[in-house]
Amino acid sequence: METKWRSYNPSGNRRVVVTKELPGKRWLEILGKADCRVEICTSTNVLSSDEIKTAIGNCCDAAIGQLTEHWDEDMFSALRAAGGIAYSNYAVGFNNVDVVEATKQRIPVGNTPGVLTETTAQMAVSLTFASARRMGESERFLRAGKYRGWLPTLFLGELLWRKTLGVIGTGRVGEAYARMMVEGHKMDLIYFDLHQNEPLEGYIAAYGTFLASRGIRPVTCNRAKRIEGLLAEADCVSLHTVLDETTRHLINAERLGLMKENAILINTSRGPVIDETALVDHCRKYPNFRVGLDVFEDEPELKPGLVELDNVVIVPHIASATGWTRQGMATLAASNVAALLMGYPVWQKPDISAFLGEDPPKAAPSIVNAKDLDIPIYDNSKDKM
């Protein structure tokens, strides 16, 4: 497939390479105001490292890359040699980026947190009920012309009302998903996280008190000491952990074997968190075990046998795919780059909503290695003047 590029603001004095077309126009306006000439790859194929380095050439001030690309020592050396002083990942996660090497090259690495939370949690909820109620399987049945009328036993699924929910990783998305499921379906929560989530526990305790005041049995929230205990107890398990060497194949054959035979497993985090080969074997062995996947171990490839499984719902990495979210990500990625090129400080606060408004702060929304590079922190007291 031929690789095509287009330019925005060709008279700009700073050159920024963007490896995929991003949604919306605001991100381009942000870079344009920073006097940037933006060169955008309009091809849908994933660019190789050599293709990206060719695009960087010998004169490039910054780059915005994708989670499908591997930004390693070689890539950051090429960017630095071309005069690059900024990089932003068009994603909240950055396991595709060697931040240590970027730091060695004195290149700040941006990401796009804060706009994916509700959208990704919503997709996890969607996959949960698509799996529990056998939506994919029943739709294929209907489209194939096999439906001959209502039957008492047709596509019986799982009722999650008042069941036990297990959440592994209660960061922003995991916490939002837990609240949606507990509030909406009165599920008891058990969660595993390296750190106690006191706000989540307090929220569910308060909700339980509210239910009790209405004569309804309160919901409960407990932190599991070990993942194994959570897996054995939960009726539905949703994964919301980061991907690193401690979480790769976190869910393997042994841990799958601890789960209930009719449990539901959801993954909207990163594909390699699950041993996909072991998952295929487990789903074949236990047809009432149901799975919803937005991400895959060897993305975009799927492990052999996965697509043939009726008890697995699969979607092509679209958890953050709402117009508002994807445009917000583009705004944040561009704001990171523009701010760094103009010498602005770093915001580094969880709430990034100010950057989506009409008068954004003169700061970079999120730079993961800001501390290591001694980049100044934005003084929020300026906004109160």
pLDDT in tens, 285-329: 999 999 999 999 999 999 999 999 999 999 999 999 999 999 999
What's the mean pLDDT when you consider all of the chain? 96
pLDDT: is 357 or 192 the higher one? 192
- Domains of the chain plus CATH, in order, are 5-115+321-384 (3.40.50.720), 117-314 (3.40.50.720)
Is-contact 332 348, C-beta < 8 A?
A: no
Which of these ranges, 294-298, 343-347, 380-384, has the smallest mean pLDDT? 380-384
- Cα dihedral 341→346→351→352 (10° resolution): -10
Is-contact 59 37, C-beta < 8 A?
A: no
* 3-class secondary structure, 324: helix
Nearest to 36 by CA among 8, 76, 5: 8
In 10 A of CB 220, how many CB atoms?
Answer: 14
Per residue in 256-284, pLDDT (tens digit) is 999 999 999 999 999 999 999 999 999 99
Instruction: Tell me how long the chain is.
Output: 385
User: How confident is the model at residue 236, as a pLDDT?
Assistant: 98
DSSP code of residue 115: S
Burial (0-12, 13-18, 19+ Cβ within 10 Å), 348: middle
Question: How confident is residue 382, by pLDDT bands cut at 50, 70 and 90?
Answer: low
**Which residue in the block uniquely carries the two structure tokens 């994964």?**
239
Q: Which residues are catalytic?
A: 270, 299, 317
% of the chain surpassing 70 pLDDT: 98
Token digits of residue 376: 């100044």
pLDDT value at 132 more than 60: yes
Q: What is the pTM of this model?
A: 0.93
Q: What is the largest CA-CA distance in the chain?
A: 70
Average pLDDT rounded to a whole number, residues 245-255: 97
